[in-house]
Amino acid sequence: MSEAPCQAEETVGLFAGQHVLAELSGVSADLLDDEQFLRHALGEVLTQADATVLEVISKKFDPQGVTVLALLSESHASIHTYPEVGSVFVDVFTCGTRAKPALAVQLLADALGAAHVSTDLVTRGIKEHAA
């Protein structure tokens, strides 16, 4: 029997989650254009935040910028970099209660050496289960 999207093992059937939307700035342009570093960093911070990473894909753009997407058992995460302004958009959505999307964003900000972090947290699904 396969696990349905947004259902962690200990919260099967829980239609709830947290969606963290972030903007990081003051980041080295070199890091924001390093596709392999970004893939590795995203996978590592998600694992440290108790998310289950299934696959990571990426695309490097010309002349600059990288998009990295992580498919999670708990949902997804993405980063979209803008080296020319030292900034990156980060999106981490996890269902259930095990994974910690806000921690993943903070760990990524630390890994990138971001000077400024702005986040919004959206509680999704059945609100009393998402906290």
Selecting among 75, 78, 116, 118, the annotated active-site residue is: 75
Domain range annotation of the chain: 16-123
Contact, 99 vs 48, CB < 8 A? no
The percent of residues in the chain predicted with pLDDT above 70, rounded, is 87
pTM recorded for the entire structure:
0.89
Mean pLDDT of 5-23: 74
Mind listing the pLDDT tens digit for each residue in 46-62?
A: 999 999 999 999 999 99
Average of per-residue pLDDT across 61-90 = 98
Q: How many CA atoms lie within 13 A of 47 on its CB side?
A: 10
Give the pLDDT of residue 129: 60
80 assigned to active site: yes
Residue 91: is its pLDDT beyond 80?
yes
88 closest CA partner among 48, 131, 29:
29
Q: What is the pLDDT of residue 1?
A: 38
The CATH fold of domain 16-123: S-adenosylmethionine decarboxylase (3.60.90)
- Which one of 80, 116, 118, 129 is the catalytic residue? 80
Which one is catalytic: 58, 95, 116, 129? 95
